[in-house]
Structure 1
Amino acid sequence: MTIRFAAAMNGTMPAIAGVLCTGAPLDAANDNAARTRPMLCAVSNSPNIAMDAGIAEALMHFARHGLSAADRARIEAEAAHERGDVPARTRWLGICGHLDRRMAVAVAHRLRG
């Protein structure tokens, strides 16, 4: 059975295009005030590079392993813990945390104790 997705149309513009705009504020604001509110899709002037790298690494791991990616990251973290490789354990727990936060917290708690 084939499943197809088509975004709803709003006149001539797809509804999803409204979500992708960079000028949509996240909360109500006075139109006349200086724009100090966070934007929905705005590019940050000072990106958090460590967070971006962690998310990118987690996404690449997910691309390789699909829905079992969090479980595989957990296995790698446990293997690194057995080897005594603290940086690798931290890296794999970070990847697992991006994919399944509860699993990562439970594994970290178990490895500490």
Structure 2
Amino acid sequence: MTVQFAAARTAATSPLARAFVRRRVEHVANDNDINGNEDLLLRAALRHFAQHGLAAASEARKQAEAAFFSGDRQNYDWWLGVCRTLDRRMAEEIARSTA
């Protein structure tokens, strides 16, 4: 008995494969970010977490406090945002103490 292998069907030609392929969503219903800042902060917070692990929020707090005491408001706001993404309570505590 001979065995013959059929060529694999691609998603474009197989009706079953097309049924399981998800279509790309053009507009996300819960997309609340208007200016794209939240996405940048989230990426930065994730990178920071990858570097520092569970101490990432504390490290971001140190960076925010150092920026505040050096008078660098833009850098302070950035690190406060990173800290807020990682630990909202800690960020509120920083904001209260530096206000």
Mapped to 2, the partners of 1:50 and 1:44 lie a distance apart of 18
Could you tell me which runs of 5 or more consecutive residues in structure 1 were left unpaired when the two chains were aligned: 1-21, 24-41
1:28-64 alpha-carbon deviations (Å, 9 max, x no partner): xxxxxxxxxxxxxx56459632111110010000001
State which structure, 1 or 2, has the greater radius of gyration over its C-alpha atoms: 2
CA distance 1:83–1:66, shift in 2 (3 Å): same
* Root-mean-square deviation over aligned CA pairs: 2.3
Mapped to 1, the partners of 2:26 and 2:38 lie a distance apart of 15
Structure of greater relative contact order (alpha carbons < 8 Å, 6+ residues apart): 2
Please, what TM-score do these two structures have when normalized by structure 1?
0.58
Residue of structure 2 in register with 1:87 after alignment? 74
Residues 55-74 of structure 1: matches in 2 within 5 Å?
55-74=42-61
Mapped to 1, the partners of 2:53 and 2:26 lie a distance apart of 28
Residue of structure 2 in register with 1:100 after alignment? 87
Identity %: 41
State yes or no: 1:52 paired with 2:52. Answer: no
Please, what TM-score do these two structures have when normalized by structure 2?
0.66
